[in-house]
Amino acid sequence: MISDTDVAKLTMPVSKRDHIQGEDSAQATLVEYGDYECPYFGQVYPIFKEVHKRLKNKLLFVFRKFPITQIHPHAQHAAEGAEAAAAQNKFWEMHDYLYEHQRALDDVHLEQYAKNIQIDNISTFNYELEQHVYAARVREDFLSGVRSGVNGTPTFFINGIRYDDSWDAESLEGAIKNTL
């Protein structure tokens, strides 16, 4: 039997600082730590989108950045690009675009993606990316993951408890529904 001390728990609670999709009244909260260059999350991304669509109002989704820079050289800058887009109210558009185009995350492509999602001020986006304005914000997400026992991506937490089962739609959706 698994004891309460054997279960990995989310150490930083969900708050207004997070990027959130869904209603506060949702019955379940799914926090994901992800790396925009991670091929595993690239495989899970469409599965998660399907589960999210099915559960609609029952699920509050939170995304936190966990760039594994030792093996994904563009992950950090892509995460900073997502934050620069967030500053112009385009986080989710950039988030989706990065996963849908994760094989090309160099700075030239990040600028093109920002244009494609119609960032209001591309000069500001480029400046913030060049100056690493959001590096500390990305690091904060990363460190919260480390403190929560995240050591790879994607890593999910359902209502604050790490989900360590299969990433297929039925298993993930079933685990979320079990918490409802």
Q: What is the pLDDT of residues 1-35, one digit of tens each?
A: 444 556 799 999 999 999 999 988 999 999 999 99
Compute the distance between CA of residue 95 and CA of residue 93 in angstroms, rounded to an integer: 5
Full-prediction pTM beyond 0.95?
no
- Domains with residue ranges and CATH for the chain: 4-178 (3.40.30.10)
Residues paired with 76 in a beta bridge: none
- β-pair type (59-65, 28-34): parallel
Sheet with strand 155-158: strands edge to edge:
19-21, 59-65, 28-34, 155-158, 161-163
- β-pair type (161-163, 59-65): unpaired
Mean of pLDDT over the chain: 94
Summarize the confidence of residues 24-50 as an average pLDDT: 92
Q: Residue 147: pLDDT above 70?
A: yes
Q: What is the pLDDT of residues 81-135, one digit of tens each?
A: 999 999 999 999 999 999 999 999 999 999 999 999 999 999 999 999 999 999 9
**Predicted pLDDT of residue 4:** 52
Closest C-alpha among 167, 162, 159 to residue 149: 162
**Predicted pLDDT of residue 76:** 98
The answer to whether 25 touches 179, Cβ cutoff 8 Å, is no
**Predicted pLDDT of residue 170:** 94
The token pair that represents 5 in the structure block: 């001390």
**Predicted pLDDT of residue 100:** 94
